[in-house]
């Protein structure tokens, strides 16, 4: 009930109010550039502080989470060592400009992750549980369908104009046929 109440209050009430609050400065000044508005109202330094502090908070939580996970995986290594290495590595990657590759990274994830879902669904529907540590037909299906999505991303061909959907359809077809042939 609380989720439904939150949804009912947020969409028809909060979103129009937030839109109006965002539009008032634009209507008052005629300026549509958010940075010029912030500086024009004398809020440049507070906005910068909010940006820095929020980034600091998120990144410290990420660093703590990474070091905690690595310490749980490798309990013989002290957590401070993981924190130090991850902090230095993250700083070096940031200085090297890793953010420039972020969109490419997201496109790569969009190509290689959707076929996994198709394989899981077909495997669950067909009850293809296996006791082997590596289920090679699933791995090969994933590799082929991810390759199809990467080729579609590169513009070589497309089935649906959506590479992730192409990969999912390919994985469904390949793994479905393999699964059915195995059951017969």
Provide the 10 A C-beta neighbour count for residue 48: 11
Sign of CA dihedral 61, 64, 67, 70: negative
Name all contacts of 144-147 with Cβ < 8 Å and 24+ positions apart.
Answer: 144/170, 144/171, 144/174, 145/115, 145/118, 145/170, 145/171, 145/174, 146/111, 146/112, 146/115
pLDDT per residue as tens digits for the range 137-148:
899 999 999 999
pLDDT at 184: 47
pLDDT at 61: 93
pLDDT band at 131 (very low <50, low <70, confident <90, very high): low
* pTM of the full structure: 0.56
pLDDT band at 130 (very low <50, low <70, confident <90, very high): low
């Amino acid at each position: 009930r609380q989720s439904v109440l939150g949804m009912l209050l947020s969409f028809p009430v909060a979103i129009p109010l937030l839109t109006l609050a965002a539009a008032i400065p634009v209507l008052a000044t005629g300026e549509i550039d958010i940075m010029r508005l912030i500086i024009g109202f004398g809020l440049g330094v507070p906005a910068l502080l909010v940006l820095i502090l929020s980034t600091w908070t998120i990144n410290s939580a990420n660093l703590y989470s990474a070091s905690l996970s690595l310490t749980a995986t490798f309990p013989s290594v002290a957590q401070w060592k993981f924190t130090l290495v991850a902090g230095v590595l993250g700083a070096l990657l940031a200085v090297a400009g890793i953010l420039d590759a972020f969109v490419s990274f997201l496109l790569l994830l969009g190509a290689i992750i959707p076929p996994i879902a198709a394989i899981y669904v077909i495997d669950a529907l067909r009850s293809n549980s296996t006791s082997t540590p590596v289920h090679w037909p699933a791995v090969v299906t994933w590799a082929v369908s991810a390759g199809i999505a990467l080729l579609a991303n590169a513009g070589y061909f497309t089935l649906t104009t959506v590479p992730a959907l192409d990969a999912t359809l390919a994985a469904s077809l390949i793994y479905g046929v393999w699964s059915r042939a195995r059951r017969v």
